Structure 1
Amino acid sequence: MVIAQFGTFVAFITPLAISLSIRLQALAPGHEEYLGYITGAGAGWVVLTAPFFGVLSDRTRTRIGRRKPFTIGGMLVGIVALFVMATAPSVFVLGVGWVLAQAGWGQVLASLTNRTADRLPEQQRGKVAGLIGFATQVAPVLGVVAAGSFASNALLLFLVPGAIGVVLTLLFILFVGEPDSRRMKFPPLSIGSTLKKFVFNPRQYPDYGWNWLGRFFFYFGLSLNTTFTAFFFAQRLDLTLTAVAGLIAIVSVGGILTTTLGAIGGGFLSDKLRRRRVFVFLSGILFALGAVVMAFSYDLPLLIAGSLISSIGVGMFSAVDQALLLDVLPERETDAGRFMGITGFATSVPQAVAPLLAPVFLLLGATGGEKNYTILYLLAGVCTLIGGFLATRIKSVR
């Protein structure tokens, strides 16, 4: 499970971290706002489809189980997406490729996440979430390092990280079994009842509602911070995007240790102490602190320091908030895929909206053709701080 999610993130997040920026610079120099439109369109696809595929996965009856068909299908679509992005002759086709990547690799990730909701016992949620959180945060680092080595070759820029994802996902498909689901019984669905499953009543499930809202704010801040990282470093250090790709790769390698500290340390401690909320709150504080440091940094040492502090927060949040989600997930036996799909809104909506709004903040007070990254990173910190605080509103989990 951990290895498969690691591979999926190498293939899926590397384009968002660096490959899309490099490809966009070649297709439309000086128009970094297009990156927001592309990533926003991809996230919009997830918003429209995630709960539907979650409900469909819950009710899929095959010899190989409910989740595995979606893992296989998503991987195949994801492979096509990487070729489309690598060979895109225009910004529009590049955007189409990213939407396909969201549809494909996003579905692989969703099916793997649904497996954890199906089978993971409570006493292991923090530990496993910590390992997965570590893997999914380190995976883009490996992808960025690989991509940085092929910055001048568009095909290898996308396909090398993609090959890692395919191999590791195939290992999971071939060697990890899933119970036969052909005898499972579910009530019939109509169009109306299916559409109702796209939403939930927060009064009926208040703790799940607080977790959803906190995750929304945290990922809104994270999306503001990460989408324009390459352009931010290039502006602050007065470098070209191609030159900054290798530098970001080096900085990202340093983030492995701090992400490990946050993800595994937070996940294991949350299980040992049987506390989730305090670690989620702390993760928001740490990310906000790192964002503030980066907002006012104009040299490499301070940029590195801010990035490393933020990575501790991201690692801790990705692990402990995932365990917290599994603790408060409603209707686990029958509708786990549905509620995990709704949870996906808390990630995909910020990914869609934040990049679209970011250019507005970048232009506030901008002078001399330089974008205002200071206000963007400060806003990111405020959002993650709110996201961490909202976890303290949950009552059923300490």
Structure 2
Amino acid sequence: MNLKSRSLAWQLGMSAYWFATSMKWFVMLLTLAFVVNDIVPGGEEGKLWGRVVLIGATWAMVGPGLFGYLSDRTRTRFGRWRPYLAIGCAGTVFALIVLSNAREYWVVVVGYLLLQMSDDFATGPYSMLIPGLVPEHQRGRASGVMALMQFSAHLAGAAVSLALGDIRPIYLTVATMSVVCALITLFTVREDPAERISDRVGFAEGWIQPWKDHDFRWAWIVRFLNALGFYLILTYLGLYFAHVVRDFTAFGIPIAKVGEGVTPEGAAKEAVLKVAVIIAVLAAIGGVAGGRLADKIGRKRVVAGCGWLMFAVLVPFALIPDFSVIVCLALLFGFGYGAYESSNWALVSDVMPSRENLAKDMGIWQSSIPAPQVIAGSLGFVVDTKNMQGTSGYTIVFLVAAAAYLFSTLSVRQIRGST
């Protein structure tokens, strides 16, 4: 199948909803932990916040593949994936309204699960656009544009969180952006008529099929291990800043201060957001550079190089709770992570086993992202238990994250079907 070249404007419009969903999850994972911290008894915040992440991630291991499977078999006058994106966006808005008014733990759990289900409903089918509509020689660049949108969304999320401060207006702003970005993508990308899939394969058998493909298995493992490292850091970063780092002065410059009405948790939240801004700026640059480089020298070289960089950064991060050191490491990690994201998406787009089932297969591959969140969430009790005798719980979890990046990088060479 010959795919036509895509303009930069088309690529930006296509990736608009990635901006929305990235902004949403960035804000959620950096702010909702503090909501849980305010609601639950002291000493249980790590375990109970981990449980929230665990519940959402458990569903997300199935959701994208399920909705991708349904999308591949959907034929409406609105298209295959477009109805899913529109309905998923509406569900996202509803879930954010629920979370913006959460005052009890069970409301947080329900709202977060609704948010995860709505996101999977939209992004499971949506994830097939690059492998399905972009020619191979442009996939690195298109993935770079997608990474640019994703990490620009992190900047926007941090800016909104810092400017508004209160959870309710923050989440309502994220809901508004979801609607705007969904409309941009829906109006930019038109669907060509597609033939109805002739096979009668059920969902269970369809779920098994891609795992028989060598490259699909290794692409999933590489992404799973990388995401495990990332979410082990992100899930507990806010609590680590609040309980261990505490002093947020970098090279003599106060980044966030306790006092004058600012609690230690409030200062930690501000510091996390500012570090996230640093990472996002470098990641946006790295995403564009990595995507272009992946088209020139090959996806695997870029993915592996970025993996080594992130591993090297995380070892001192786990051992040295000094904010000046953390800021320096954030610069390196951000660039590496951005370049990794764009080149890895291009790599995966090259090795999908079936063009007829792209949405389903991309959705199943996407389970490599929430699956690590199940592990990250379940380690909340380790953090709480070890922290009873100091702060070694965070050190252990962050060293496990570094090891995950190492094994992810070593696994890249197993993929054969991409350069």
Question: What is the TM-score normalised by the length of structure 1?
Answer: 0.92
Give me the whole-angstrom Cα distance separating, in 2, the residues matched to 1:48 and 1:207: 20
Give me the whole-angstrom Cα distance separating, in 1, the residues matched to 2:354 and 2:348: 13
Quote the residue 2:318 is aligned against: 295
Does residue 212 (structure 1) correspond to residue 220 (structure 2)? The answer is: yes
Could you tell me which amino acid in structure 2 is paired with residue 386 of structure 1?
Answer: F
Q: Deviations over 1:299-321 (max 9, x none)?
A: 21111122222222221221111
| Unaligned stretches of 5+ residues in structure 2 | 1-13, 247-257, 259-263
Does residue 15 (structure 1) correspond to residue 24 (structure 2)? The answer is: no
Quote the residue 1:96 is aligned against: 110
Could you tell me which amino acid in structure 1 is paired with residue 381 of structure 2?
Answer: P
For residue 133 of structure 2, the aligned residue among 119, 142, 145 is 119
Give me the whole-angstrom Cα distance separating, in 2, the residues matched to 1:339 and 1:129: 18
Change (3 A) 1:136 1:294: same
Give me the whole-angstrom Cα distance separating, in 2, the residues matched to 1:158 and 1:235: 26
Could you tell me which amino acid in structure 2 is paired with residue 223 of structure 1?
Answer: Y
Deviation at 1:272, TM superposition (A): 1.5
* Residue-pair matches, total: 388
Runs of 4+ deviating beyond 3 Å: 361-364, 366-371
Quote the residue 2:368 is aligned against: 346
Give me the whole-angstrom Cα distance separating, in 2, the residues matched to 1:295 and 1:93: 33
Give me the whole-angstrom Cα distance separating, in 1, the residues matched to 2:112 and 2:76: 30
Quote the residue 1:386 is aligned against: 407
Deviation at 1:188, TM superposition (A): 5.8
Could you tell me which amino acid in structure 2 is paired with residue 155 of structure 1?
Answer: R
Deviation at 1:107, TM superposition (A): 2.8
Structure 1 SS opposite 2:209? coil
Give me the whole-angstrom Cα distance separating, in 1, the residues matched to 2:413 and 2:384: 32
Could you tell me which amino acid in structure 2 is paired with residue 279 of structure 1?
Answer: V
For residue 265 of structure 2, the aligned residue among 224, 241, 250 is 241
Matches within 5 A, 1:1-398: 1-16=14-29, 18-30=30-42, 31-151=45-165, 153-181=166-194, 184-187=195-198, 189=200, 193-200=202-209, 202=211, 204-238=212-246, 240-273=264-297, 275-332=298-355, 334-360=356-382, 363-364=385-386, 366-368=387-389, 370=391, 372-398=393-419
Give me the whole-angstrom Cα distance separating, in 2, the residues matched to 1:80 and 1:166: 11
Q: Deviations over 1:72-130 (max 9, x none)?
A: 01000000100111112311110111111111123323332122221011001111111
Give me the whole-angstrom Cα distance separating, in 1, the residues matched to 2:384 and 2:400: 11
Deviation at 1:352, TM superposition (A): 1.9
| Unaligned stretches of 5+ residues in structure 1 | none
Q: Deviations over 1:156-192 (max 9, x none)?
A: 13112222222122222234322244xx2223647xx
Give me the whole-angstrom Cα distance separating, in 2, the residues matched to 1:280 and 1:174: 32
Q: Deviations over 1:277-326 (max 9, x none)?
A: 12111121111122112112222111112222222222122111110101
Give me the whole-angstrom Cα distance separating, in 2, the residues matched to 1:66 and 1:35: 36
Change (3 A) 1:118 1:303: same
Give me the whole-angstrom Cα distance separating, in 1, the residues matched to 2:384 and 2:34: 20
Contact 1:5 1:112 survives alignment (8 Å)? no
Contact 2:46 2:383 survives alignment (8 Å)? no
Question: What is the TM-score normalised by the length of structure 2?
Answer: 0.87
Could you tell me which amino acid in structure 2 is paired with residue 222 of structure 1?
Answer: F
Give me the whole-angstrom Cα distance separating, in 1, the residues matched to 2:15 and 2:41: 38
Give me the whole-angstrom Cα distance separating, in 2, the residues matched to 1:195 and 1:77: 26
Change (3 A) 1:175 1:137: closer
Give me the whole-angstrom Cα distance separating, in 2, the residues matched to 1:283 and 1:29: 40
Q: Deviations over 1:207-246 (max 9, x none)?
A: 1211111111111111101111111111233262222222
Change (3 A) 1:114 1:221: same
Structure 1 SS opposite 2:62? helix
**Percent identity, aligned pairs only?**
26
Give me the whole-angstrom Cα distance separating, in 1, the residues matched to 2:285 and 2:372: 26
Change (3 A) 1:131 1:201: closer
Could you tell me which amino acid in structure 1 is paired with residue 36 of structure 2?
Answer: L
Give me the whole-angstrom Cα distance separating, in 2, the residues matched to 1:381 and 1:315: 17
Give me the whole-angstrom Cα distance separating, in 2, the residues matched to 1:362 and 1:200: 40
Give me the whole-angstrom Cα distance separating, in 2, the residues matched to 1:156 and 1:335: 40
Give me the whole-angstrom Cα distance separating, in 2, the residues matched to 1:241 and 1:310: 24
Deviation at 1:19, TM superposition (A): 2.0
